[in-house]
Amino acid sequence: MWLTRPLSERSTQLFLGILFIAMLLVTVLHVALPEGHALHVSAYTVTLLGKYLCYALLAVAVDLVWGYLGILSLGHGAFFALGGYAMGMYLMRQIGDRGVYGDPLLPDFMVFLNWDALPWYWQGFDMAWFAVIMVLLAPGLLALVFGFLAFRSRVTGVYLSIITQALTFALMLAFFRNEMGFGGNNGLTDFKDILGFNLRTDATRLGLFLATGVALAVGYIVCRAIVASKLGRVSIACRDAEARTRFLGYRVERVQLFVFVVSAMLAGVAGALYVPQVGIINPSEFSPLFSIEIVVWVALGGRATLYGAVIGAVLVNYAKTVFTGIMPDAWLFALGALFVLVTVFLPKGIAGLLPSLRRPKVGDDPAAPGPGHDPGYDPDHDPDQAADAQSPANREATV
Amino acid sequence: MSFISELSHRDRVFDFLTPTLSPVDVRHGPILYMDGVTVTFDGFRAINDLSLTIDDGELRCIIGPNGAGKTTMMDIITGKTRPDTGSVWFGSRHNLLTKSEPDIASLGIGRKFQKPTVFEALSIFENLELAMSADKRVFPSLTARMTGETIDRIEEVLTTVGLTRLRHRAAGILSHGQKQWLEIGMLLMQKPRLLLVDEPVAGMTEQEMERTAELLTSLAGKQSVVVVEHDMGFVRSIARTVTVLHQGSVLAEGTMDQVSNDPKVIEVYLGEGA
């Protein structure tokens, strides 16, 4: 089975091992140790780490299309936000009559706007299974239509990047409008519970964190399975010499479309897990700046490695949390400086620093990963590891 | 309209009933048949009423001065450029003018470009794997497994082009000549009926040229090979039949000795008054 092939790869085993050990560690430190203990992980930190893991999954999705297919998407925030909105709509419907206005059917903002009926596209979101399908379907369909038009016309490179940027900007403007029925400027918030569990309890927060960890693991395996398959090698071929690939008989635009849609769906899942943890979704997630930031995470972590994207997303967001706490105004300068420094001195990103655990015997093994980007992952060589002496929970930050 | 007029021909099988990817029919001799092909780029006639036939299993060299339309001719055969008029048939069944680039490739026409283009980030083995004739749609590629048969086939081609020792190295490290051979190897993986080879020895050393000549002559017979080349010495060493192109049409055709003694050819190559 192609999907389980990555499980026999050493780098994937190592990645999953570190991820699960970190999840276990956080759980134990959160549950077993009393509050006030030096090593106790607070519920706040658990949620923060859960947020990082959402970003990590989003970064993996971007790395799949950028690193392996050469499509620099500056609009992946749109897919993330669509997944988030689908989850947000489910959470809004779960509030029921506990809203400020106490309307059993209509969310607060609709009552406020004097709407008397639920718009048609809000139907069905009271059912969790429907919301889960929409989390995958909404970003997937957008990517399918957008990708079909773009790739069929052979739009690539900078032009495609600009169009993806325009896409997310247009969606942001659309979602800002109250008439759209998605809460306008304020978005969707004030959530109460998910699947019957109260979102404000520590247990639910821990559960969401663990669910995000599992989603990241599954997303990583899916991406790795694609990358390690023949299709992954075709993707690299499309990235490096598109015309040549076409002459070999591959339908380049279909390969691009498939990978793009998978990536968009993963981004949607990341968004859906993000929303219950931060408690709000609003149009700012569609902002072009956010989409560019995702690309910066991937570039910092190292393109075309997948685990590099995870490292990049977690490190940059950890740095963001620290920096915006100490010097809020300096953060953007720090991010810019970090980006310049890494591009100049570490063209392969942070992942390029990690030592190669093995030289794979490529070719003898059909499932052998593409060449050049299969060094194993070693957390002890993480440059930021030394910096956070705060608690073992921050070990999570490097996973 | 053409569809309706076709229905009135009751004496033959309607075109739309014949499967589009059926095997190449070479019972009548030629594997490639071009007739009256003309291409105009912004008023400039790159190909002017070109007619050419290549027989099955033939090794044909095409020479001609710069701008004679050699590369454009290849573009037309592979579907990259559409001619204004004329017809191009592959065997006696496939009208190439109605097919897309990937379709033409999967029919069995392989092309080696002037500048070698290999996938530098992939290993030589993987380059050949991608080139192999197989189901190239998205999902079959995703679930494809490497069987012993395909490995044998790749190893066989590696031996033919002499790159066995380097098979797990990235293609980016190869020398220019080795990249040319890898390209030819990639063509062979597609099991093509017709190989189009554009300037295979450009930038090669003497020894590399000799090996390339051996390689190409060993391919003829099993495949039909069309070589476009500037290097006269090389053409002389492999050619059986030579076609001279000039200003988009055929100037002369025959053995190397015949064409090199042809006054028209001498004039084109050496200038007027020679």
Q: What is the pLDDT of residues A40-80, one digit of tens each?
A: 889 999 999 999 999 999 999 999 999 999 999 999 999 99
- Residue B134 C-alpha, separation from nearest chain A C-alpha, in angstroms: 9
The answer to whether residue A378 scores a pLDDT higher than 80 is no
**pLDDT, greater one: A373 or B167:** B167
User: Which residue from B minimizes the CA distance to A223?
Assistant: B142
3-class SS string, chain B: CHHHHHHCCCCCCCHHHCCCCCCCCCCCCEEEEEEEEEEEECCEEEEEEEEEEEECCCEEEEECCCCCCHHHHHHHHCCCCCCCEEEEEECCCEEHHHCCHHHHHHHCEEEECCCCCCCCCCEHHHHHHHHCCCCCCHHHHHHCCCCHHHHHHHHHHHHHHCCHHHCCCEHHHCCHHHHHHHHHHHHHHCCCCEEEEECCCCCCCHHHHHHHHHHHHHHECCEEEEEECCCHHHHHHHCCEEEEEECCEEEEEECHHHHHHCHHHHHHHHCCCC
| pLDDT at residue B108 in the model | 86
Q: A367: pLDDT confidence band, cut at 50, 70 and 90?
A: very low
Q: Check if the beta carbon of residue B165 is closer than 8 Å to that of residue B178.
A: no
Q: Kindly report the number of other CB atoms within 10 A of residue A339's CB atom.
A: 17
**pLDDT, greater one: B72 or A359:** B72
Measuring CA to CA, which residue among A175, A79, A78, A71 is closest to residue A136? A79
**pLDDT, greater one: A203 or B230:** A203
How would you write the pLDDT of chain B (274 residues) with one tens digit per residue?
566 666 666 666 665 555 545 577 777 778 899 999 999 988 888 898 999 999 888 899 998 888 888 888 999 998 888 999 999 999 888 888 888 887 888 888 888 877 778 999 999 999 999 988 888 889 988 988 888 888 999 998 998 888 999 989 999 999 888 888 898 898 888 888 899 988 888 888 888 888 888 888 888 878 899 998 878 888 888 878 899 988 888 888 988 888 888 888 888 876 654 3
- Residue A1 C-alpha, separation from nearest chain B C-alpha, in angstroms: 8
**Amino acid at the residue A319:** A
* Interface size, chain A vs chain B, as Cβ–Cβ contacts under 8 Å: 96
Measuring CA to CA, which residue among A390, A307, A389 is closest to residue A353? A307
Q: A397: pLDDT confidence band, cut at 50, 70 and 90?
A: very low
3-class SS string, B228-259: ECCCHHHHHHHCCEEEEEECCEEEEEECHHHH
Q: A239: pLDDT confidence band, cut at 50, 70 and 90?
A: very high
- Residue B142 C-alpha, separation from nearest chain A C-alpha, in angstroms: 5
| pLDDT at residue A18 in the model | 96
For chain A positions 258-287, those within 8 Å of chain B (CB to CB) are: 258
Alpha-carbon distances of A220 from A48, B38, B193, rounded to whole Å = 20, 53, 42
Q: What is the pLDDT of residues A74-111, one digit of tens each?
A: 999 999 999 999 999 999 999 988 888 888 889 999 99
The mean pLDDT of A141-165, rounded to a whole number, is 94
Q: Two tokens at A261?
A: 């849609």
- To the question of domain B31-270 being in CATH 3.40.50.300, the answer is yes
Q: Average per-residue pLDDT in chain A?
A: 87
The ipTM value here is: 0.78
Q: A228: pLDDT confidence band, cut at 50, 70 and 90?
A: very high
The answer to whether residue A388 scores a pLDDT higher than 50 is no
Contact B143 A2 (CB under 8 A): yes
| pLDDT at residue A385 in the model | 36
Q: Check if the beta carbon of residue B52 is closer than 8 Å to that of residue B242.
A: no
Which residues in chain B have their CB less than 8 angstroms from residue A67's CB?
Answer: none
Interface test with B, best of A248, A252, A262 (most B CBs within 10 A): A248
Q: How far apart are CA B21 and CA B93, in angstroms?
A: 10
Which residues in chain B have their CB less than 8 angstroms from residue A372's CB?
Answer: 121, 170
The answer to whether residue A231 scores a pLDDT higher than 50 is yes
Helix (H, G, I), strand (E, B) or coil at A156: coil
A237: contact with B, CB 8 A cutoff = yes
The answer to whether residue A359 scores a pLDDT higher than 70 is no
Q: How far apart are CA A86 and CA A65, in angstroms?
A: 23
| pLDDT at residue A115 in the model | 92
* Interface residues on B facing A, Cβ-Cβ cutoff 8 A: 78, 101-102, 105-106, 111, 113, 117-123, 125-126, 129-131, 133, 136-138, 141-146, 167-168, 170, 186, 190
Which residues in chain A have their CB less than 8 angstroms from residue B142's CB?
Answer: 2, 226, 229-231
The mean pLDDT of A201-210, rounded to a whole number, is 94
DSSP A365: B
DSSP A184: G
Measuring CA to CA, which residue among A236, A348, A256 is closest to residue A303? A348
- Residue A369 C-alpha, separation from nearest chain B C-alpha, in angstroms: 10
Q: What is the pLDDT of residues A314-357, one digit of tens each?
A: 999 999 999 898 888 888 888 888 888 888 888 888 888 886 54
- Residue B105 C-alpha, separation from nearest chain A C-alpha, in angstroms: 5
Which residues in chain A have their CB less than 8 angstroms from residue B148's CB?
Answer: none
Chain centre distance of CA B66: 19
Measuring CA to CA, which residue among A268, A255, A285, A223 is closest to residue A67? A223
Alpha-carbon distances of A334 from A73, A320, A330, B145, rounded to whole Å = 23, 9, 6, 46
Question: To the nearest whole percent, how much of chain A has pLDDT over 90?
Answer: 66
